[in-house]
């Protein structure tokens, strides 16, 4: 994109402008973009609102960004908050704050600290988040690492090759996530299915896999395993069976 569209867009202060195709887009202050935005690089220092879709190679948000359409991005770094109202395709999402996605997220590496909320499905190569995770339907990734912190996480279904859920031992992650005690953090999920599974502080109806370890603080209705199963003395498993 950059070789064919060398023009840049810069917003300083408070301004409203039309969308289009650019090389670099930089917003310092409060910027509103009407229409679709296509660019190599988009940086936000403050607040930005895009009424359409966003297609970019890199996005850096230091503040707050709102995309009212879909997002197709190579890499996103969020130091603050971002809302995406459509579907999202993101190769690398580096979170240091809050991201909310109203539809599906398809990604490569999803990682970071803070709070991520996806109303529908999330499919990624790897998913490693410390904080609060909410997925309305299915979280599916090759490798999943959830570090519970501050408040409960809720996911309908989890599927992956290796799945690890632990409680974060770091108290101070993000200042805006201190509204609840980290001691209350649990994962609530209907079903978990994978090859290698390790769980702490998880409430689930069904956990199914090859090698399963149920750690402290868990409350599981049914465990179905193929190779091995271990249960911590501080965990509750109502039924377990080898399949």
Q: Would you state the pLDDT for residue 184?
A: 76
Rounded CA-CA distance 193/202 in Å is 14
Is the residue at 119 inside a domain? no
- Distance from the Cα of residue 2 to its chain's centroid: 29
Q: Would you state the pLDDT for residue 169?
A: 67
Q: Would you state the pLDDT for residue 174?
A: 47
Is the residue at 115 inside a domain? no
Structural domain that includes position 62:
7-103
Q: How many CB atoms lie within 10 A of CB 115?
A: 23
Q: Would you state the pLDDT for residue 168?
A: 76
Is the residue at 86 inside a domain? yes
Beta bridge partners of 99: 82, 116
Q: Would you state the pLDDT for residue 188?
A: 98
Is the residue at 165 inside a domain? no
Block mean pLDDT (10 aa), the chain, length 243: 68 95 97 97 98 98 98 98 98 98 98 98 98 98 96 97 87 47 80 98 98 98 98 97 95
Q: Would you state the pLDDT for residue 30?
A: 97
* Domains identified in the chain, total number: 1
Q: Would you state the pLDDT for residue 208?
A: 98
Q: How far is CA 198 from CA 10, 143, 185, 211, 238, in A?
A: 48, 12, 17, 9, 17
Is the residue at 80 inside a domain? yes
Rounded CA-CA distance 162/134 in Å is 19
Is the residue at 238 inside a domain? no
Is the residue at 47 inside a domain? yes
Query: In this structure, are residues 118 and 93 in contact, taking their beta carbons and an 8 Å threshold?
Result: no
Is the residue at 99 inside a domain? yes
Rounded CA-CA distance 203/193 in Å is 14
For the whole prediction, is pTM greater than 0.85?
yes
């Amino acid at each position: 994109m950059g070789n064919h569209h060398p023009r840049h867009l810069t917003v300083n202060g408070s301004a409203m402008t039309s969308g289009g195709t650019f090389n670099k887009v930089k917003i310092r202050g409060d910027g509103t973009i009407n229409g679709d935005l296509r660019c190599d690089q988009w940086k936000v220092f403050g607040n930005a609102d895009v009424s359409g879709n966003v297609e970019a190679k890199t996005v850096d948000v230091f503040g707050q960004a709102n995309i009212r359409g879909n997002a197709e991005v190579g890499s996103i770094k969020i130091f603050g908050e971002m809302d995406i109202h459509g579907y999202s395709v993101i190769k690398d999402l580096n979170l240091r704050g809050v991201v909310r996605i109203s539809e599906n997220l398809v990604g490569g590496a999803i990682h970071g600290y803070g709070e991520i909320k996806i109303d529908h499905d999330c499919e990624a190569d790897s998913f490693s988040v410390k904080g609060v995770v909410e997925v309305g339907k299915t979280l599916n990734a090759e490798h999943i690492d959830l570090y519970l912190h501050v408040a409960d996480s809720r996911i309908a279904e989890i599927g992956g090759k290796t799945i690890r859920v632990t409680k974060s031992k770091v108290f101070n992650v993000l200042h805006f996530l201190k509204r609840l005690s980290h001691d209350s953090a649990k994962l609530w999920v209907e079903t978990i299915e994978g090859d290698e599974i390790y769980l702490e502080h998880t409430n689930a109806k069904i956990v199914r896999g090859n090698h399963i370890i149920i750690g402290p603080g868990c409350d599981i209705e049914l465990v179905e395993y193929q190779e091995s199963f271990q249960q911590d003395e501080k965990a509750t498993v109502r039924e377990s069976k080898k399949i």
